[in-house]
Amino acid sequence: MKLPSIGSVGIRNRLIALVGFTMIPLAAAFALYIWTDHTQTIASAKDGVRAAAKLAAATEARIFDETRMLLETLKLVPAVLPTGGAACSSFLAEVKAANSLYNTVGVVDSAGTITCHNALRVQQKLSDLELRDRMMAPGSPAFLVGKFVIGKVSGKPTVLAASGFPKNQGGFAGAVFASLNLDSMTQDIEAVSDGGEQTVLLLEPSSNRIILHYPPLLGVPFGAPFPEHPLMTAVRRMPNGGTAEVMGIDGVGKVFGFAPLPGAKNIVLAVGKDRKTLMAPVRQRLTVSSVGLLTVLLVATFLVWWLSERMQLRPLRRLMDVATRIGAGNFGATADLERWQAPELKQFGHVLAAMANKLSIGRDAEQIVAASEARFRILAENTVDIITCADASGRRIYVSPASRAVLGYDPGELIGMRPRDLAHPDDVGVVDTMMSTVMGGQAVSGIDYRVAHRGGGYRWVEVAGKPLDDGAGTVFVMRDFTDRKMIEAQLAEANLKLERLASTDGLTGLANRRALDEQLEIEFGRAVRADSDLSFLMIDVDSFKAFNDTYGHPAGDECLRRIAAALKESLRRPGDLTARYGGEELAAVMPGTNSPGAVERAEVVRLAVRELAIPNSGSSHGIVTISVGVATLAAGAGAELRDAAWLIRSADRALYEAKANGRDKVVAASAQQA
């Protein structure tokens, strides 16, 4: 039997064959889509849980930041000493009562013995021996977080945090510690779990323990060890955070993201989502797509069979008759189709060939222009950015509809205006420069300025522009970024406030001790390098304890504030720094000031305090006075010195001499004292 040649196969049969061949790449694309969908779903889930873990870790780290700040504050309280005592225990009991975040609060001495505690009245060794050893180790950090333990006093599962007292001759001097209430931490973790939709864990990789698990699991207590669990293995392998697709503690497959807690690197927070739940949409899409693909194949085959006669063969015969009459005109062109084309199409091709020569050029040109105009109009009328065109004089001849949303003006209201007409007065120069550049033939981008809004006020916009190819004008794209500008300004203001708070004493408004130490080290190094003078004042309020005992601590605080104001007013050079050294002691760093100059300024401060005339019945002078010790690093005298500590010691000795000689004096340190 002789098979028909390809040229004799009709359109209907060709379409049916085409549908069959089309299904092959469609099926391949479908398989690729399912695989890609699965991969992207898992990747998206991993990104999501890791981001959630990082965010939750940062949130949970707040507890340790608050703990560190509390412990640092407790170390400054006079009653809280490594030697302990009743006053210490009483004070810590009050601190514990006011902070439900902690089970216990206490103090250990240099031997690791609890000497002060909110509840314990008998001295004993710290329960977290490993934390004790880390605190006592040379070079240990000031703030440490221990491992999971069961508190000996509270009897509750907990994690200890400790902050050491200043080193005593280079050795461990003791520390203030607090045991965290894990129930309080569970409340924060519950919020992260999104109502139990996500599994949240606090892990201690070094001991393979799960400190917390939410939602809680029956039979999994606080601190349960899971040394061989795949999640523990993944956390140990990626200490800086990552993701893992493993079986959860509850035996359900999950996708976990985890991250260490800032400030407590030995604790890791993990967030997990049920893998089956994540993949349910993928399975559903697979089922729907499979049914859809099969349905499409069956329907397409039937429709091609039925429609090929109704919508292809019959219309082509009618169009062929019409085209033959049109082709009998003045077009005269011929078109020969390939031999393998269908007979119907070859007949139709001969007719179209007769019209092609004259119609194709006009038709193609019209389609190109229409498509270009349609694309531009769709872009201009649907983008959120304002698109404008200006003529050679710089006046707008077209404005896109986005002007209503961005500036409150209808496009017609802006036609004929120049960009500078609505610019902020301070930004007119920027706009004029931009227009000159673009009209000079160069493109611009990233130009920021403010534009008046119809409803009042100004909006920040980012503009890009370029000259048109035919030189008949310019086109600009204007994007509103006011919200981003406001956020940037708020962020800058918040950072400035945080920087000020971190370096300012809350009572006096002067620089705090940390800022003083940092600035003194900087100025000392600068003075040594530049071979210049550097003076340091140590100031103490005379008989201040008697003042507090007589007039009360609120009056004492007000007294310190007034003295601090007088000090700041007396030392106003740009390079001078005034600070609160501690308690009733103030200090000042005076770069570029020699000893006579420093003594002169110290006398100005002393007299300024006397002029305040603050009554003090506990002083032999009858009013509040100050004593000042002055120490100076003379130009060229600092090369052999290791640091600025000697300058503080010299000023302190001079202050002691001023106290010993009747107070209300200024004494400069001698060369022997230095």
Q: Is residue 289 part of a domain?
A: no
For residue 113, what are the CA distances in angstroms to 17, 84, 129, 143, 204?
A: 89, 10, 11, 18, 25
- In this predicted structure, what is the pLDDT of residue 248? 85
- In this predicted structure, what is the pLDDT of residue 332? 65
**Residue 284: partners with Cβ closer than 8 Å, 6 or more residues away:** none
Number of C-beta neighbours around residue 126 at 10 A: 23
- What tens digit of pLDDT does each residue of 203-237 get? 888 888 888 888 887 777 777 888 888 988 898 89
Q: Is residue 23 part of a domain?
A: no
Range of the domain at 420: 383-485
Residues with catalytic annotation?
584
Q: Is residue 317 part of a domain?
A: no
Same domain, 468 and 516: no
pLDDT band at 465 (very low <50, low <70, confident <90, very high): very high
Q: Is residue 334 part of a domain?
A: no
- In this predicted structure, what is the pLDDT of residue 535? 95
| Last residue of one domain, picked from the residues 218, 253, 278 | 278
DSSP state of 308: I
- In this predicted structure, what is the pLDDT of residue 95? 93
- In this predicted structure, what is the pLDDT of residue 604? 95
Instruction: Please provide the size of the chain in residues.
Output: 674
DSSP string, 558-607: HHHHHHHHHHHHH---TT-EEEEEETTEEEEEEET--HHHHHHHHHHHHH
The span from the CA of 665 to the CA of 642, in Å, is 30
- In this predicted structure, what is the pLDDT of residue 365? 47
Q: Is residue 41 part of a domain?
A: no
- In this predicted structure, what is the pLDDT of residue 630? 96
- The percentage of residues in the chain with a pLDDT greater than 70, rounded to a whole number, is 84
Burial class (CB in 10 A: 0-12, 13-18, 19+), 238: middle
Residue 616: give its domain's CATH number: 3.30.70.270
- In this predicted structure, what is the pLDDT of residue 313? 59
- In this predicted structure, what is the pLDDT of residue 357? 62
- In this predicted structure, what is the pLDDT of residue 166? 83
| Last residue of one domain, picked from the residues 429, 457, 485 | 485
Same domain, 507 and 421: no
Q: Is residue 191 part of a domain?
A: yes
- What tens digit of pLDDT does each residue of 245-267 get? 998 888 889 999 999 988 777 88
Q: Is the pLDDT of residue 405 over 90?
A: no
- In this predicted structure, what is the pLDDT of residue 3? 62
Same domain, 480 and 513: no
Same domain, 511 and 465: no
- In this predicted structure, what is the pLDDT of residue 577? 95
Residue 177: strand pairing partners:
106, 162
Same domain, 195 and 241: yes
Which has the minimum average pLDDT: 101-115, 129-143, 570-584? Answer: 129-143
Same domain, 201 and 265: yes
Q: Are strands 626-633 and 666-668 parallel, antiparallel or unpaired?
A: parallel
What is the Cα 671 distance to its own chain's centre? 52
Q: Is the pLDDT of residue 375 over 70?
A: no
Same domain, 459 and 527: no
DSSP state of 511: B
- In this predicted structure, what is the pLDDT of residue 449? 93
pLDDT band at 565 (very low <50, low <70, confident <90, very high): very high
Closest listed residue to residue 112, CA positions, set 157, 66, 165, 73: 165
The span from the CA of 251 to the CA of 272, in Å, is 12
Q: Is the pLDDT of residue 673 over 50?
A: no
Same domain, 513 and 648: yes
- In this predicted structure, what is the pLDDT of residue 278? 80
pLDDT band at 308 (very low <50, low <70, confident <90, very high): low
What is the rounded average pLDDT of the residues 340-355?
67
How confident is the prediction for the chain on average, in pLDDT?
A: 83
The span from the CA of 547 to the CA of 612, in Å, is 15
Q: Is the pLDDT of residue 317 over 80?
A: no
Q: Are strands 199-204 and 209-214 parallel, antiparallel or unpaired?
A: antiparallel
- In this predicted structure, what is the pLDDT of residue 104? 92
Q: Is the pLDDT of residue 608 over 70?
A: yes
Burial class (CB in 10 A: 0-12, 13-18, 19+), 561: middle
The span from the CA of 107 to the CA of 92, in Å, is 9
Q: Is residue 320 part of a domain?
A: no
Q: Is the pLDDT of residue 400 over 80?
A: yes
Considering only residues 628 and 200, tell me which one the structure prediction assigns the higher pLDDT.
628
- What tens digit of pLDDT does each residue of 513-553 get? 999 999 999 999 899 888 899 999 999 999 999 999 999 99
For residue 353, what are the CA distances in angstroms to 18, 253, 329, 343, 479?
A: 25, 66, 13, 15, 50
Which run of H or E residues covers position 449?
A: strand 444-452
The span from the CA of 496 to the CA of 488, in Å, is 12
What is the rounded average pLDDT of the residues 58-76?
87
Asked if 460 and 485 count as a contact pair (C-beta separation under 8 A), the reply is yes
Same domain, 539 and 437: no
Using left for φ > 0, alpha for ψ between -120 and 50, and beta otherwise, residue 176 falls in beta
Asked if 474 and 483 count as a contact pair (C-beta separation under 8 A), the reply is no
Same domain, 544 and 617: yes
The span from the CA of 467 to the CA of 438, in Å, is 6
- In this predicted structure, what is the pLDDT of residue 562? 96
Single pTM value for the model: 0.40
Which has the minimum average pLDDT: 165-174, 357-366, 415-424? Answer: 357-366
- What tens digit of pLDDT does each residue of 4-43 get? 667 767 666 776 777 777 778 877 877 887 888 778 888 8
What is the rounded average pLDDT of the residues 310-326?
61
| Last residue of one domain, picked from the residues 222, 249, 278 | 278
Q: Is the pLDDT of residue 566 over 90?
A: yes
Residue 264: give its domain's CATH number: 3.30.450.20
Considering only residues 79 and 351, tell me which one the structure prediction assigns the higher pLDDT.
79
Q: Is the pLDDT of residue 626 over 90?
A: yes
Same domain, 401 and 530: no
Same domain, 656 and 626: yes
pLDDT band at 670 (very low <50, low <70, confident <90, very high): confident
The span from the CA of 175 to the CA of 79, in Å, is 14
Considering only residues 187 and 336, tell me which one the structure prediction assigns the higher pLDDT.
187
What is the rounded average pLDDT of the residues 346-369?
60
Q: Is residue 115 part of a domain?
A: no
What is the rounded average pLDDT of the residues 554-561?
94
Q: How many domains does the chain have?
A: 3
Q: Is the pLDDT of residue 305 over 60?
A: yes
